[in-house]
Amino acid sequence: MPDPIFRMRDVSKVYHVGDLEVVALRDVSLELYAGEFVVLLGPSGSGKSTLLNLLGGLDTPTKGQVDYLDHDLSEGGDEKLTAFRREHVGFVFQFYNLIPSLTAAENVALVTDIADRPLDPREALALVGLAERADHFPAQLSGGEQQRVAIARAVAKRPDVLLCDEPTGALDVETGRLVLEVLERVNRELGTITAVITHNASIAAMGDRVIRMSSGHIVDIAANAKRLPASELVW
């Protein structure tokens, strides 16, 4: 077994919402390896988004240890975590989060401008099959196209990890499949660790490993003997 890239040990996360204490993660341990495609499955409130936030350096655990190679992510100040995100992480959101005042290419350039050795924005758009739409504004693109721009934006900095929170949640089946194909291709061609959150069990088949969560626990980690190509997924 190679050395893990990400390592979580006995991680818990407690949120305080008003007077309530919500335990989002309880004593979770997990390792992610170079180049793997992981699917995180679970119902709403199972803790998968919290897990993703901790991996992406958006949040720190209440208890336990999160490491990315030799970076300690469990207690970094804002600056350290920002630098980590800037250098290593690509995010894809459910609602794309494109900047409406920038064209597709410019949305990508926003990130390549602050990255060390990025792809050319147009190259990144070509990777997601949108070279033709580079000069369109978000309002001129379909939902699937917008999500592909978001993926291009996420991968253009050559991140070490791509974190996708319900990337197909707002899309129809056909478009969703197209988006997943792009993620699959990025994972294959750039070797980026890819973690996809979904509550759509059909997607599980395309991952190297499938992590099932419930009520803040990892209930099961299963390795797929054979990854199914995204084009063959049905739901």
Partner 1 sequence: MRIGALDRKILRDAWHIRAQIIACALVVAGGINSFVSLSSLNRSLAASQASFYEEYRFADVFAGAVRAPEHVAQRLAEIPGVAVLETRVVARVNLDVPGLDEPARGRIVSISRDPTGGLNALYIRRGRMPAAASQDEVLVAEAFAIANRLEPGDSIRAVVNGRYKSLRIVGVAISPEYIYALGPGQLVPDNRRYGILWMDRKGLATAYDMEGAFNDVTAKVSPGATVEPVLGEMDRILGAYGGVGAYDREDQLSHRFLSDEIAQNRTMSRITPTIFLAVGAFLLYTILTRLVQMQRSQVGLLKAFGYSGGEISLHYLKLALVISLLGAAMGVATGIPFANAMLDLYAEFYFFPMYASDQVWPVAAAGVSLAVAAAALGAVPAALRAARLAPAESMHPEPPPRFHAGVFERWGIRHALRPAGRMLVRNLARRPLRFVANVAGIAIAVALLVMMTAMMDGVRYLMEWQFTVVQHEDVQVLLTEPRSREALDSLRAMRGVVEVEPFRFASGRFHAGHRMKRGLVFGIEDSPTLRRVVAADGHAPAIPPDGVLLTGIFASALQVRAGDTIEVEVMEGKRPRVPMLVVGVVEEPIGFSAYVSRATANRLMGEGDVLTGAYLRVDANERAKVFADLKAMPQVAGANLREAAYAQFREMIDRSVGIMITVNLVFAWIIAFGLVYNGARIALSERGYELATLRVLGFTQRESAALLLGEQGVITGVGLPAGLALGIALTLYFVWMLSTDMWRMPFVVTGLNLVGAMAAVGFAAAASGAAVAWRLRRLDLVGALKARE
Where does this chain bind partner 1 (CB under 8 A)?
A: 49, 52-53, 56, 58-59, 78-79, 82-83, 85-87, 89, 91, 93-95, 97-103, 106-107, 109-111, 113-114, 137-139, 153, 157, 165, 169
Q: In the bound complex, what is the minimum distance in angstroms from residue 92's beta carbon to partner 1?
A: 10
Q: How far is the CB of 142 from partner 1 (least distance, A)?
A: 12
Alpha-carbon torsion angle 157, 65, 4, 93, nearest 10: -40
CB 44 → partner 1: shortest distance, Å?
11
| Minimal distance, residue 135 CB to partner 1, in Å | 8
Q: With contact defined as beta carbons under 8 Å apart, do 13 and 54 qualify?
A: yes
Place of tokens 């990400």: 6
Pairing of strands 193-198, 161-165: parallel
Could you tell me the maximum CA-CA distance found in the chain, to the nearest angstrom?
52
Shortest spacing between CB 112 and partner 1, in angstroms: 9
For partner 1, the closer of residues 7 and 80 by Cβ is 80
Closer by beta carbon to partner 1, 92 or else 218: 92
Q: What is the smallest separation between the CB atom of 200 and partner 1, expressed in angstroms? A: 15
Nearer to partner 1 among residue 86 and residue 217 (C-beta): 86
Phi/psi for 62 (5° steps) reads -75, -35
**For partner 1, the closer CB: 97 or 231:** 97
Per-position b or e across 78-115, b if 16+ CB within 10 A of its CB: eeebeebbeebbbbbbbebebeeebbbbbbbbebbeee
Between 103 and 187, whose beta carbon lies closer to partner 1? Answer: 103
Cβ atoms of 6 and 66 within 8 Å: the answer is yes
Q: Which is nearer to partner 1, 164 or 220 (CB)?
A: 164
CA distance 64 to 13: 9
